[in-house]
Amino acid sequence: MSNEEMLRHVDHTQLKPFATWEDIEKLCEEAIAYHTASVCVPPAYIRRIHDRFGEQINICTVVGFPLGYSVTEAKVAEVVKALEDGAGEIDMVVNISDVKNHLYDKVEAEIRTLKEACGGHILKVIIETCFLTKEEKIAMCKAVTKAGADFIKTSTGFGTGGATMEDILLFKEHIGPEVKIKAAGGVKTREDLEAFLNAGCERIGTSSAVGILNGGAAQGY
Nearest Cα residue to 45 out of 74, 25, 63 = 25
What element of type H or E holds 123? strand 122-126
- Written as one letter, the residue type at 75 is K
Q: Catalytic residue at 182?
A: yes
Q: How far is Cα 54 from Cα 50, in angstroms, rounded to an integer?
A: 5
> Among the options 11, 85, 91, 150, which is catalytic?
91
> Among the options 75, 115, 137, 153, which is catalytic?
153
Cis peptide leading into residue 66 (ω within 30°): yes
3-class DSSP string for 165-190: HHHHHHHHHHCCCCCEEEEECCCCCH
> Among the options 115, 137, 180, 182, which is catalytic?
182
Whether 100 and 136 have beta carbons less than 8 Å apart is answered as yes
Angle (deg, nearest 10), helices 46-53 and 72-85: 20
Whether 182 and 205 have beta carbons less than 8 Å apart is answered as yes
Handedness of CA 43, 205, 35, 179 (dihedral sign): negative
Please, which residues have CB within 8 angstroms of residue 108's CB and are 6 or more apart in sequence?
Answer: 142, 143, 146, 147
Q: How far is Cα 87 from Cα 40, in angstroms, rounded to an integer?
A: 10
Q: Catalytic residue at 153?
A: yes
- Residues that are catalytic: 91, 153, 182
